[in-house]
Amino acid sequence: MSGTLTIFKRELRSYFATPVAYVFIVIFLLLAGAFTFYMGGFYERGQADLQPFFNFHPWLYLFLVPAVSMRLWAEERKTGTIELLLTLPVTMWQAVLGKFLAAWAFIAIALALTFPIWITVNYLGSPDNGVIFASYLGSLLMAGAFLAIGSCLSASTRNQVVAFILTVVICFLLLLAGFPLVLDAISAVAPQGVVDAIAGLSFLTHFASISKGVIDLRDLIYFVLMIVAWLYATAVVIDMKKAA
């Protein structure tokens, strides 16, 4: 466990060693604000809740999370530090988990910095803070799932741009898995059971129910399983790619 923690600390500190972290946080906060107030009609709705704020999170994450995850392993492979890291006395799983958790914590920090909007709705009215808390939780879980996908794809290439694009595409497909755009294409070739299974993978449906304040165990399990599965795939991909 101490191996995970050591790697976690090193990674998290390295985010803040360069301006990239600050640029990311500022852009995240600006976009989150702009979506909420201009496109979400925060004031016009006349309701004291954060629905317009959370509604845009999946789309915000679609581009910003891959920007964080793209360097996770691609950079280690490019600079050769992966050989240093994996010959230190840590297990593969500790390395994968430590790096993932650091990136997740970084996004959690960015997400936590949106707290003024929570204060704002409480000032303007009396929102259901339980729902807002659940939404934050759901948002963070969804970011973790995006990140785990990005981690796996970052491990598959030494080119960060390729990692970024692949992650955006796969996350986009998973976001829309419950929608006609994806389902129509699949239903043409696959039986109904497969179509239903794929529809059940949609990020948006799972996130929507959490953000309505309904913390269903199935939605939590969905995101946790998603994270575990993609991290496992990360470890497998690293092992396969080491030889090349």
Partner 1 sequence: MIETRQLTKRYGGFTAVDAITFKVEPGQVLGFLGPNGAGKSTTMKMLAGFLAPTSGGATVAGFDVESQPLEAKRALGYLPEGAPSYGEMSVREFLDFIADVRGLKGEPRYARIDDAIARLHLERVLEQPIDTLSKGFKRRVGLAGSILHDPKVLILDEPTDGLDPNQKQEVRTLINSMARDKTVIISTHLLEEVHAVCTRAIIIAGGRILADASPSELEARSRYHQAVSLTATNVNQAKEALGKVADVAAIEVDPQDGRITAFPKPGRSIFVAVGDALKAQGVEVRELALEAGRLDEVFRTITQGAGGKEART
What CA–CA distance (Å, rounded) separates 80 from 74? 10
CA atoms within 13 Å, Cβ hemisphere of 70: 17
b/e per residue 152-189 (b: at least 16 CB within 10 A): bbbbbbbebeebbebbbebbbbbbbbbeeebbeeebee
**Among 31, 86, 140, 195, contact with partner 1 (rule: CB under 8 A):** 86
What's the half-sphere exposure (Cβ side, CA atoms, 13 Å) at 145?
27
> Which one of 73-81, 126-134, 137-145, 165-173 is the stretch in contact with partner 1 (CB under 8 A)?
73-81
- Looking at the Cβ atoms of 7 and 226, the one nearer to partner 1 is 7
Q: Mask: binding to partner 1, 10-49, rule CB under 8 A, as x and -? A: x--xx--xx-------------------------------
Q: Which stretch binds partner 1 (CB under 8 A): 75-83, 133-141, 152-160, 202-210?
A: 75-83
Query: If 0-12 CB within 10 Å is exposed, 13-18 middle and 19+ buried, where does residue 83 land?
Result: exposed
Which position among 34, 88, 197, 228 is part of the footprint of partner 1 (CB under 8 A)? Answer: 88
1 binds partner 1 (CB under 8 A): no
User: Who contacts 91 (Cβ-Cβ below 8 Å, separation ≥6)?
Assistant: 3
Q: Which is nearer to partner 1, 79 or 129 (CB)?
A: 79
89 binds partner 1 (CB under 8 A): yes
What are the residues binding partner 1 (CB under 8 A)? Answer: 2-3, 6-7, 9-10, 13-14, 17-18, 79-81, 83-84, 86-91, 242-243
